[in-house]
Amino acid sequence: MSEILRLDRVSRHFSGLQALRGVSLSLARGEVLGLIGPNGAGKTTLVNTVCGVTPASSGTIIFDGSDITAIKTYQAARLGLSRTFQIVQPFAEFTALDNVAAAALFSRPRASLAVARAAAMAHLDFVGLAAQASRPAATLTLAMRKRLELAKALAMKPKLLFLDEVNAGLNSAEVERATALIHQLAASGITIVMIEHLMKVVLNVCTRIAVLHNGELIADGVPREVIDNPAVVEAYLGQQYAKARAHR
């Protein structure tokens, strides 16, 4: 598989805080990468840096063969970089349909509203929200808003999709439904990076895991090897998790 993303010694600091420390990471087309680590490890900062929200302080980011280190967010969207947000904030008074149509227009501003709404309806149908298309986003449940967030990201026709805690706050049945959608997206060929704390989901979906701790990449490899890595157990998973695995 060819490479779609490469980070070369990427760092990001905010005043005295070093959020990312020389992270080097590559991603092949079609991979599903789990990005894990403790709170404050730099996971969302890494996504923000790639997508142009908080530009890198140093290092280089190559996406689909182009240097995007200093890219703006709208440029990233139009190149095929899309993401969901951990805290979903749709346009509350817009309908679900128009929330997704707005995302489609953002990434392709020359598209007509009719074309954007037709594409939006298809994405709502995919995530199971077709019946809620005309409802204001403010009336949707958390699980529905999470699926709406995914539909918005898909409306931007991503080559690379970042999923930031898409399962946070969901019950087990809702997590299973979200996981099934992610499997379908992966099968369609979209490259995915998942920030996820539910290790059951990570092991179910991801083909590879990268671990951040204090802004540094401390492990990167196939799931089973990474979660058995002593540094990962110490920094993130904890001894209880390691002991539970040992007794399975």
Tell me how far apart the alpha carbons of residues 235 and 143 are, in angstroms, rounded to a whole number: 30
Which pLDDT does position 239 carry in this prediction? 66
b/e sequence 97-128, b meaning 16+ C-beta within 10 Å: bbbbbbbbbbbbeeeeeeebbebbbebbebbe
- Sorted by where each begins, the domain ranges of the chain are 3-80+159-246, 89-157
Among 3.40.50.261, 2.60.120.620, 3.40.50.300, 2.60.40.1180, name the CATH number for the domain at 3-80+159-246.
Answer: 3.40.50.300
Tell me how far apart the alpha carbons of residues 5 and 37 are, in angstroms, rounded to a whole number: 20
- The pTM assigned to this predicted structure is 0.92
The pLDDT tens digits of the residues spanning 49-87 come to: 999 999 999 999 999 999 999 999 989 999 999 999 988
Backbone angles phi, psi at 60, to 5 degrees: -135, 140
The pLDDT tens digits of the residues spanning 13-51 come to: 998 889 999 999 999 999 999 999 999 999 999 999 999
Does pLDDT of 243 surpass 60? no
Query: What number is the average pLDDT over the span 165-189?
Result: 92
The pLDDT tens digits of the residues spanning 98-150 come to: 999 999 988 777 778 899 999 999 999 999 999 999 999 999 999 999 999 99
C-alpha of 145 from chain center: 16
